[in-house]
């Protein structure tokens, strides 16, 4: 009969140790199952000669579709159907693989190898714990399965076109997996086969690798790692490549706790990465700690990388990304962390090489807290003709910092720009392809210590480099840019500049409060013939530039390009303090235009500047226009608003305000606070001031439509007696007649007329009170005595009243 499956069980209490050839011959390329619940060890000399799939497990039984089991303790089955699961015992043993079999001409060890290069075989290890200590598992074009599970668990088995797929949906507890000492999981082939690791904590270290290389027209299958923790250290790597027309394998990392990657040092990591970008050659013996996909010599697209974990921690020269060296596109990178992403001196990237025509992949980071530190680069780069990838960030809090005491010119961007390495998030083109765009959504954004957000284009390497990308940043609460990089003058910055003949990108910021201070800047300038970009800022409350903080769309050097436009709308105030600047100035070309609006005040203090001056190097460019709209405009301590020119015409300044304080309109700059629009050799510009538009009805409270009748609200007390007369007994300082001046300023007011004609001022003498029979009388008034004391009296003395009041006269008697 035709043998399709060989099942070998080991009874007793001993582990199985194999350090030679394990063969299966005859039959119809049968699969081989080896089970020993006590443990299995493959030595360095172990070799498989198995034509079909091979599965080694420390399970206690193999389960079948009809409900039967093949157990290490039960009776022997005479015939079996396709296996459907593995049943682990109460104490599943571990599996160790140290097999390093390396055929002649192979660049890597193959170790335990199944099949002959077909695509229908699986090699799998399922144990209580699985350790590959220098050993290799290889299924060329087939499936590689490694699982570590806990006691009394069940692992499903599903027959597929590539052998057997392990199913962990009914598995509730897991054990650890370790790959070390150069261990290798390899499913490379015409189309790389699927690789699946499932465990609790998975460690890949000491140059151990997971490799899925596609070499032909078949798309590679996914590499999937599912665990609580995944740790990559000491040049551990997960790689997917394509050198054929088929797409490279995706890498999917699904973690319930954390991903931690630790490199071998920032310097070595960056140098290795630079060499890789320059040559496109992957040296498997000198890798950085990395999770990477790339395409080498064909039109195949590099695989995507998808990461899901609560915490992501990249440290000390580790890298995570995708690159293309050919016509194929680089893959996208997606990081989703439910708690935090931290990258310290590490690299998250997608890019295209100088010989590539494919496009770069996108980078998407989604997390509540994003921290990039100490030279970390999150970037997409273009060296070829394809467009660079985009970057999208969705986070509650974003911080870019650099606390290193010294910095060097290490790194991809540093070596090309001759600038020290810095913490950077950016899209950059050094080739003819267009730089990618950046879109950031957050609640708070802090950029300090010379860190940078950039979308730049460089023309030093290739003439006519592509244009810069767009930067869009939305922060619902605040954005703060502060400080410079250690040992350098490199500022913390948002930068959409160009150093080529192509245009710079545009930059848009939307927030509640924007602060730029201590040398930080936002710029979309040009350092060559390309046009500057534009800057648009919408702040619902304040925009504050302090202590050399700067906003600029300048065209500097020998560049003939024009300055870019800057538009700022601040709901409350726009403040420039301590040598702060907003400029769109040029050396040769026309100055850019500035449009500034503040809801309450535009304030300039201590040497601050607003300028669209053109032709500073003697050029003929015209000064740019400045439009300002603010209720109050104030400038003090040699602060200026300038739209001057050298040989061209001065710009026009249009101001709409209620009042200008401190600033004066002058024909030229002085040591005072100036508003000028002059030209040294051209026509002066104009300065126009418009009265701020006010709505007289603004703020009024609308009354009820029907007014009440006040006639019934007058107190009728005086009508109670006599002829109901009302007599005023005091004038409160009113002059006797309207045409007479008021008397001296007497406070409190006193009536100096004789009042005896108004009423009888005779006061009856008080009654004599018998000392022997005193009667307490209620006080009805008070008096101010000459010594200032207050006395309560039964009848007030009007001579000493401080505030006479209008009173009802005594009733007249017939």
Of the ranges 110-119, 165-174, 245-254, 603-612, which one carries the lowest mean pLDDT score? 110-119
d(CA 792, CA 586): 84
Q: What is the DSSP letter of 510?
A: E
Sequence ranges of the domains in the chain? 362-524, 564-694, 713-765+774-814
10-19, 265-274, 605-614: least confident range: 265-274
577 vs 289, residue with greater confidence: 577
Would residue 732 be called left, alpha or beta, if left means φ above 0 and alpha means ψ between -120 and 50 degrees? left
**Which residues, at least 6 apart from 303, have a Cβ–Cβ distance to it below 8 Å?**
212, 220, 222, 240, 242, 247, 248, 249, 250, 251, 293, 322, 331
Q: Are 259 and 313 in contact (CB under 8 A)?
A: yes
- Compute how many other C-beta atoms are within 10 angstroms of the C-beta atom of residue 193: 31
DSSP class of residue 707?
Answer: P
> Lowest-pLDDT range, 244-253, 296-305, 603-612?
296-305
Task: Read off the tokens for 188.
Answer: 């490379």
pLDDT of amino acid 754: 56
Joined together, the tokens standing for residue 257 give 């706790």
- Chain center to CA of 284: 33
The reported pLDDT for the residue numbered 18 is: 96
User: For 445-470, how does the pLDDT look when each residue is reduced to its tens digit (9 = 90+)?
Assistant: 999 999 999 887 775 555 666 778 89
Stretch 681-705: mean pLDDT, rounded? 73
Identify whether 748 is preceded by a cis peptide bond (ω within 30 of 0): yes
Q: What is the pLDDT of residue 750?
A: 53
Q: Encode pLDDT of 96-105 as tens digits.
A: 999 999 999 8
Q: Mind listing the pLDDT tens digit for each residue in 638-677?
A: 999 999 988 889 899 999 999 999 999 998 899 999 999 9
**pLDDT above 80 for 801:** no
> Cα-flanking dihedrals φ and ψ of residue 414, to 5°?
-65, -45
Cα 140 from chain centre: 41
* Residue pair 694/660 in contact by the 8 Å Cβ criterion: no
Selected residue with higher pLDDT from 588 and 718: 588
Rounded CA separation 248/469 (Å)? 28
Residue-by-residue DSSP string for 384-422: SSSPPPPEEEEEEEEEEE---S---S-SHHHHHHT----
pLDDT in tens, 364-417: 999 999 999 988 989 888 777 778 899 999 999 999 998 875 554 444 444 444
518 by DSSP, 3-state: which? coil
CB atoms within 10 A of CB 76: 8
Residue with tokens 């210590």: 449
- The tens digit of pLDDT for each residue in 529-542 reads 777 889 999 999 99
* pLDDT, position 415: 45
How many beta carbons lie within 10 A of that of residue 67, not counting itself?
7
Task: For residues 474 and 651, give the distance between their C-alpha atoms in angstroms, rounded to a whole number.
Answer: 32
Closest-CA residue to 682 (of 640, 651, 642): 651
Alpha carbon of 787 to those of 84, 780, 783, 790: distances in Å? 112, 21, 11, 9
Q: Please state, in angstroms and rounded to a whole number, the distance separating the CA atoms of residues 782 and 791.
A: 5
94, 128 Cβ separation under 8 angstroms: yes
Of residues 596 and 349, the one with the higher pLDDT is: 596
Segments of 119-169 assigned E as strands: 122-127, 130-133, 136-138, 143-148, 154-160, 163-167
CA separation for the pair 407, 414 (Å, rounded): 11
- Predicted confidence at residue 5, as pLDDT, reads 84
CB 516 within 8 A of CB 483: no
C-alpha distances out from residue 506 to 434, 550, 798, Å: 13, 16, 81
Quote the pLDDT of residue 775: 60
For the record, the structure tokens of 198 come out as: 């499932």
- What confidence category does residue 149 fall into, taking pLDDT thresholds of 50, 70 and 90? very high
pLDDT digit string, tens, across residues 178-197: 999 999 999 999 999 999 99
Which of 89-103, 127-141, 177-191, 753-767 comes out lowest in average pLDDT? Answer: 753-767
Token pair in block for residue 347: 């690299």
How far is residue 33's CA from residue 234's CA, in Å, rounded to a whole number? 34
CB neighbours of residue 399 within 10 Å: 19
With CA atoms as reference, report the closest residue to 304 among 237, 355, 240.
Answer: 240
Nearest residue to 59 (alpha-carbon basis) of 93, 83, 13: 93
Answer for the pair 153, 171: CB distance below 8 angstroms, yes or no. Answer: yes
What's the token pair of residue 20?
A: 């030679």
Percent of the chain at pLDDT exceeding 90: 52
With cut-offs at 50, 70 and 90, classify the pLDDT of residue 707: low
pLDDT on residue 692 = 67
What single DSSP character describes residue 272? H
Give the integer Cα–Cα distance in Å for 567 and 593: 8
The residues near 682 (Cβ < 8 Å, ≥ 6 apart) are 620, 622, 645, 646, 647, 648, 649, 650
Q: Which of 206-215, 390-399, 446-455, 714-723 has the lowest mean pLDDT?
A: 714-723
Query: 232: closest CA among 149, 144, 306, 291?
Result: 291
Residue 140, pLDDT score: 92
**418 vs 297: CA distance, rounded Å:** 30
- Taking residues 610-622, report their average pLDDT: 81
How many angstroms separate the Cα of 424 from the Cα of each of 314, 337, 430, 453, 572?
15, 20, 16, 6, 31
Averaged confidence pLDDT in the chain: 83
Please report the pLDDT score of residue 806 as a whole number.
46
* Residue positions counted in the chain: 814
pLDDT band at 742 (very low <50, low <70, confident <90, very high): low
- Any idea which of 25-39, 238-252, 420-434, 543-557 has the lowest mean pLDDT? 420-434
% of the chain with per-residue pLDDT over 70: 77
Residue 258 pLDDT greater than 80, yes or no: yes
Q: For the residues 682-700, what does the mean pLDDT come to?
A: 76
Q: What distance in Å separates the CA atoms of residue 564 and residue 586, rounded to the nearest whole number?
A: 10
Q: Which of 15-24, 503-512, 749-758 has the lowest mean pLDDT?
A: 749-758
DSSP per residue, 607-627: S-EEE--B-TTS--PPPPPEE
531, 564 in Cβ contact below 8 A?
yes
DSSP codes joined into one string, 645-685: BSSSPPPPEEEEESEEES-EE-SS--SS-EEE--BSSS---
pLDDT surpasses 60 at 797: no
Name 165's bridge partners: 158
- Reply yes or no on whether the pLDDT at 9 is more than 90: no
């Amino acid at each position: 009969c035709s043998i399709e499956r060989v099942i070998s069980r080991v009874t007793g209490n001993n582990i199985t140790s194999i350090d030679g050839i394990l063969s299966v011959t005859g039959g119809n390329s049968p699969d081989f199952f080896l089970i020993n619940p006590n443990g299995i060890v493959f030595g360095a000399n172990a070799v498989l000669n198995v034509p079909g799939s091979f599965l080694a497990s420390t399970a206690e039984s193999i389960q079948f579709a009809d409900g039967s089991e093949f157990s290490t303790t039960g009776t022997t089955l005479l015939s079996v159907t396709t296996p459907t699961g593995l049943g682990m015992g109460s104490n599943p043993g571990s599996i160790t693989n140290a097999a390093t079999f390396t055929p002649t001409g192979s660049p890597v060890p193959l170790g335990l190898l199944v099949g002959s290069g077909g695509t229908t075989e699986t090699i799998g290890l399922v144990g209580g714990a699985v350790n590959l200590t220098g050993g290799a598992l290889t299924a060329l074009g087939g499936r590689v399965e490694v699982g570590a599970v806990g006691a009394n668990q069940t692992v499903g088995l599903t027959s597929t076109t590539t052998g057997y797929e392990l199913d962990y949906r009914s598995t509730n507890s897991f054990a650890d997996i370790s790959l070390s000492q150069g261990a290798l999981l390899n499913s490379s082939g015409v189309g790389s086969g699927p690789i699946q690791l499932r465990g609790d904590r998975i460690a890949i270290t000491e140059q151990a690798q997971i490799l899925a290389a596609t070499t032909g027209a078949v798309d590679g299958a996914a590499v999937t790692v599912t665990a609580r923790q995944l740790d990559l250290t000491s040049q551990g790597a997960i790689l997917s490549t394509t050198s054929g027309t088929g797409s490279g394998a995706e890498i999917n990392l699904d973690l319930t706790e954390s991903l931690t990657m630790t490199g071998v040092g920032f310097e070595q990591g960056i140098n290795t990465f630079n060499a890789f970008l320059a040559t496109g050659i992957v040296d498997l013996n000198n890798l950085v700690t990395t999770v990477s996909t790339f395409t080498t010599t064909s039109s195949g697209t590099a695989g995507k990388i998808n990461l899901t974990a609560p915490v992501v921690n990249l440290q000390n020269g580790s890298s995570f990304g995708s690159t293309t060296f050919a016509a194929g596109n680089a893959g996208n990178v997606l990081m989703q962390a439910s708690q935090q992403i931290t990258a310290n001196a590490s690299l998250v990237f997608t890019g295209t090489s100088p010989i590539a025509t494919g496009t770069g992949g996108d980078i998407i980071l989604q997390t509540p807290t994003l921290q990039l530190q100490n030279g970390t680069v999150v970037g997409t780069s273009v060296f070829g003709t394809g467009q660079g990838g985009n970057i999208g960030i969705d986070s509650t809090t974003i911080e870019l910092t650099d606390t290193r005491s010294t910095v060097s010119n290490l790194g991809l961007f540093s070596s090309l720009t001759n600038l020290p390495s810095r913490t950077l998030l950016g899209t950059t083109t050094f080739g003819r392809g267009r730089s990618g765009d950046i879109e950031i959504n957050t609640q708070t954004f802090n950029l300090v210590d010379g860190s940078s957000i950039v979308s730049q284009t460089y023309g030093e390497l290739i003439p006519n480099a592509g244009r810069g990308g767009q930067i869009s940043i939305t922060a619902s609460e605040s954005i703060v840019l502060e400080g410079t990089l250690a040992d350098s003058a490199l500022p913390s910055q948002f930068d959409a500049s160009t150093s080529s003949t192509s245009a710079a990108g545009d930059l848009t910021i939307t927030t509640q409060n924007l602060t730029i201070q201590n040398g930080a800047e936002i710029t979309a300038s040009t350092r060559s013939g390309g046009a500057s970009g534009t800057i648009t800022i919408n702040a619902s409350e304040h925009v504050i530039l302090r202590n050399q903080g700067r906003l600029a769309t300048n065209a500097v050097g020998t560049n003939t390009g024009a300055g870019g436009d800057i538009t700022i709308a601040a709901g409350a105030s726009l403040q420039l303090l301590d040598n702060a600047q907003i400029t769109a100035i040029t050396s040769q070309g026309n100055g850019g235009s500035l449009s500034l609006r503040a809801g309450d005040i535009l304030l300039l203090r201590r040497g601050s500047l607003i300028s669209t001056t053109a032709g500073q190097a003697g050029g003929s460019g015209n000064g740019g226009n400045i439009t300002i709209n603010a209720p109050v405009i104030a400038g003090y301590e040699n602060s200026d608003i300038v739209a001057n020119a050298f040989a061209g015409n001065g710009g026009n300044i249009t101001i709409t305000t209620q009042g200008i304080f401190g600033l004066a309109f002058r024909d030229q700059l002085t040591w005072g606070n100036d508003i000028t629009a002059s030209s040294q050799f051209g026509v002066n510009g104009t300065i126009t001031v418009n009265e701020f538009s006010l709505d007289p009805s603004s703020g009024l409270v609308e009354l009820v439509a029907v007014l009440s009748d006040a006639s019934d609200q007058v107190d009728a007390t005086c009508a109670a007696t006599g002829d109901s007369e009302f007599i005023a007994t005091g004038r409160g300082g009113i002059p006797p007649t309207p045409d007479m001046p008021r008397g001296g300023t007497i406070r409190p007011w006193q009536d100096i007329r004789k009042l005896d004609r108004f009423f009888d001022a005779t006061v009856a003498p008080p009654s004599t009170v018998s000392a022997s029979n005193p009667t307490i009388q209620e006080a009805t008034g008070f008096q101010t005595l000459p010594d200032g004391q207050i006395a309560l009296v039964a009848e007030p003395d009007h001579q000493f009243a401080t505030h006479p009041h209008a009173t009802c006269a005594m009733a007249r008697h017939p």
